Amino acid sequence: MKWIFKKFETLKLTELYDLLKLRSSVFVVEQDCVYQDLDEKDQQATHLLGYENEKLIAYSRIFSPGTFEKKYARIGRIVTKKQHRGKGIGQSLVQRSIEFCAEQFNRQTIKISAQVYLKKFYNQQGFVEKGKIYYEDGIPHCAMYFLFKP
């Protein structure tokens, strides 16, 4: 696996196309969910791209504290290509995202909006649920937080 962090303005057109294609294939097609993926937030994110054999198979976007949440860093659009799930790539993706936040944002608490069916997966990565279940684009979600240990 090859992992690359990029700011929006440094993404090549092919990289942008590939990450939008991956997000669409999972969040729109596979999950049968019509929603506005292009939300004007990509420009403010750091994008983590995971490649295997020159093909994008994993992705997340990361926001610094204060971008959308006063107190929290945010990780979102966490996605692994369907054919590559169950191989530990998702865990690596989340861990690399957490490590980036630790280094770049001084170990600030991280918040994610997790699909409820993935709660156990995120618990295994160190996230804890807080608050009630809510619906985002017709899918049940919950707020989850990663608190760095002192």
What share of the chain in percent tops pLDDT 70? 100
- Residues 116-124, mean pLDDT to the nearest whole number: 97
Residue in the structure block whose two tokens are 């979600």 = 141
Give strand pairing partners of 75.
62
**Which has the closest alpha carbon to 3: 44, 58, 46, 42?**
58
Provide the domain count of the chain: 1
Residue 111, judged by CB atoms within 10 A of its CB (0-12, 13-18, 19+), counts as: buried
At residue 150, the pLDDT reads 81
Mind listing the pLDDT tens digit for each residue in 53-106? 999 999 999 999 999 888 999 999 999 999 999 999 999 999 999 999 999 999
DSSP state of 67: S
- Residue 66: what are its φ and ψ, rounded to 5°? 95, -15
The mean of the pLDDT values for the chain is: 96
Range of the domain at 36: 2-146
> CATH number for the domain including 80?
3.40.630.30
Ranges of beta strands (E only) in 17-109 are 46-52, 55-63, 73-80
Residue type, 138: G
